[in-house]
Amino acid sequence: MLVVLLGPSCSGKSTFQKELVENEGYHAVRTATTRPKRVGEDLSSYYFLKDQSFAEWEVRGDLLCVETFRGWRYGVPRDEITRRGDRPNRVVILTFGGVMELLANHADIIVGDALSILYLGVDGATAESRAYSRGDDRREYLRRMAADSVDFRKFPSENGVWEFTPDYILSCINNRNNWKIGPHHLLCRCSRRAEAHLLHPQEPCVEARERERKVAR
C-alpha cells in the first residue's frame, strides 16, 4: 500500500503521516530537499541537502519527481519508494505536481501497489493558528500562504480530506485548465474521522455513509 498525501502548508500532512507510522506501522518515505530545516522540525522527515549534493543525487538517477517549489528543490529518493522490507505499507508527502510526475513517468516502480491519494484541506484560520503555534516565521508563513493560494486555487479551502483515484489524477494531466473536484472525492470533512476511515476502512465514517445514501438515491 502506498499512501500519497498532498495539501497546502499547515494542513496536517506531517501529523497524518505520523499517525500512520506510529499507529499502523507504515514506513514514512523521506523526501530530499534543499530548503533549510524549520525550527522544531524532525530530521526524520527529510534529507536536507545542499544544492550540490541534491544535483549529484539527481544526476545519478537517485531522485524521482524532482521539481522546484517556492524556490527550493524537492525530490523523492528512488529507494524510498521501491523499498518493501518488513513494512511494505508506505506513506509519502508530495506536491500535486509530484503526484502527476510519479503517475505519468514512474508508474512502473509502483506496479502491484494499492495506491491512495489524499488531499488534506485547511481553512485560513486553522492554518494561521497552526503556523503560529509551532513558531513559524511570520514572513515565511505569509509567503507560503501566498504560494498556496495559487498552487491550490482549484482545491477546497476548508478542513477535510479528499481522496483521488490514480486515473483521475492522470486525467488532470491532459486537462490542466478544466478539471474539477466533485463531492464524490470527499473522504471526510473532519480530519480525525478521516483518519479513522483510512485506518479502518471496514468502518466508514458517518459522512461517507451519508454520501453513499445520497448517491444511491
Sequence ranges of the domains in the chain: 2-29+87-216
Nearest residue to 189 (alpha-carbon basis) of 207, 213, 215, 168: 207
**CA–CA–CA angle 102, 88, 165 (5° rounding):** 40
Domain at 2-29+87-216, CATH class = alpha beta
9-23, 161-175, 189-203: which has the highest mean pLDDT? 9-23
Task: Note if the pTM is more than 0.75.
Answer: no
The more confident residue out of 113 and 120 is 120
pLDDT tens, position by position, 172-189: 655 555 555 555 555 555
pLDDT at 133 over 90: no
What mean pLDDT do residues 12-23 have? 88
The pLDDT of residue 201 is 41
Tell me the C-alpha distance between 77 and 20, whole Å: 20
